[in-house]
Amino acid sequence: MKENNCPVCGSSDISRSKKPLSITEAFSGNRTVDVVTYHCNSCGSDGDFFDENQGLIDEAIKHSQSLVVANVIDYFERNQTSLAGMERALGLPQRTLTKWKTGALQPSSSAVSLFKFLRIYPWLLSVAEHKYDYVIGQRIHVTDALKKVVDNMSFGNDTFSSGFMSSDRKSFVYLSVESSSESVPAQGQSNQPKVTVY
């Protein structure tokens, strides 16, 4: 078959057009690639007749994935996490994160997945820092979940906070409610912060 002819019927009467293709990757936003479509005016076939798009799409996906990792690294840096500490916790060679961030090194698909999980569950990094100890990992998880619940609680202007305390033998999760009221406490009531222990 001659080049630039319809691969179905061989006609040279083909037209080429471009249309935008949106590529969405969590934590890197949308990216649009102009993909090529051919139409054969003789037999009516449509498609990417000469395989021009796959390379462009692959390139755009790679770029988006690099951006995912760069954005998540930024997030951790903004939250005062050191890159060297992250590399140690995750068992990555030194300066890997900087190379991913600058685009000097392309993160693997599994690294991209890991970083998406880390962005949704940043406490996974603490689990890694504790060498994946099962019990500590469960505590970190539950404490984070409780904090989320408490952070979304609201009763007037009272301030809620939660935390986790543990010793070798005991541990407890606490929920603290601090009254913001400046008024004189009603009779029989205390204006002291109330603490509920679970």
Q: Does 6 bind Zn ion (CB under 5 A)?
A: yes
Q: Say how far apart CA 88 and CA 91 lie, in whole Å.
A: 5
**CA torsion sign, 101 to 104 to 109 to 114?**
negative
* DSSP-derived 3-state class of residue 63: helix
| Residue 101 identity (one-letter amino acid) | K
- Using CB under 5 A, which of 43, 120, 142, 195 touches Zn ion? 43
Print the binding letters for residues 13-42 with Zn ion: x by CB under 5 A, - otherwise: ---------------------------x-x
Find out whether 150 and 160 touch, Cβ atoms under 8 Å.
Answer: yes
- Total residues at the site for Zn ion (CB under 5 A)? 8
Q: Say how far apart CA 69 and CA 28 lie, in whole Å.
A: 9
Of 6-14, 25-33, 119-127, 133-141, the window that binds Zn ion (rule: CB under 5 A) is: 6-14
Which residues between 44 and 63 bind Zn ion (CB under 5 A)?
45
Q: Does 90 bind Zn ion (CB under 5 A)?
A: no
Neighbours of 97 (CB within 10 A): 25
Q: Which is nearer to Zn ion, 40 or 69 (CB)?
A: 40
Of 5-13, 67-75, 103-111, 177-185, the window that binds Zn ion (rule: CB under 5 A) is: 5-13
Shortest distance, CB of residue 106 to Zn ion, whole angstroms? Answer: 38
Residue 190 DSSP code:
-
Strand partners, 20: 34
Binding site for Zn ion (CB under 5 A): 6, 8-9, 11, 40, 42-43, 45
